[in-house]
Amino acid sequence: MKGHPGEDDRATQALRHRIREILESGPTGFDAVRQRMDRVQQVVREESFRVIGPLLATRAAEIPVGTYEEKRAFVAWLNAELRQRHLAVRCPKTGKPTILEINPGRIPATGRFRFDHLDEAGRHHTTFTCVELPPLEFMPDPSVTPRGRLRPGRGH
């Protein structure tokens, strides 16, 4: 897989063929096929996360975040990447899935990072703030079910 849009090389063709085999194997009813489809999607997400997580952390560490504007641009980029891949930042304090936000703090020119999560009732909680970004770890975003729907109380 070379990564170019529209390119359908041998590895992609083999993957398509194998997915089709898995989806068409076993019982043919809607529920049975949907379960196999959910499992295929889960495996793809897990394997993608295993590969992309460390690369995303490395890329994030290379981006300058010394000023408020740099932090703002970084947070927008990072959260877009995470949403697209159904990932979250692991809070360095609680280990919970969070999103990264920014606020001016006491030094508006520099700003602060804020790790924020939503509880089951949809309330925001700031779990950790910092001026300097700690090494980031990523985790699957539990607000997305295997079929991509948001759980109650969670909005993006």
Q: What is residue 89's predicted lDDT score, i.e. its pLDDT?
A: 92
How many beta carbons lie within 10 A of that of residue 102, not counting itself?
A: 20
Q: What is residue 145's predicted lDDT score, i.e. its pLDDT?
A: 43
Interatomic CA distance for residues 86 and 98, integer angstroms: 12
Cα 22 from chain centroid?
A: 26
Q: Check residue 116 and report its DSSP letter.
A: E
Q: What is residue 5's predicted lDDT score, i.e. its pLDDT?
A: 55
Q: What is residue 150's predicted lDDT score, i.e. its pLDDT?
A: 46
The three-class DSSP label of residue 118 is strand
Query: For the purposes of burial, counting CB atoms within 10 Å of the CB of 87, is it exposed (0-12), middle (13-18) or buried (19 or more)?
Result: buried
pLDDT tens series, the chain, 156 aa: 455 555 568 888 999 999 999 999 989 999 999 999 999 988 888 888 889 889 999 999 999 999 999 999 999 999 999 988 888 999 999 898 999 999 998 999 999 999 998 777 878 889 899 999 999 999 888 775 444 434 444 443
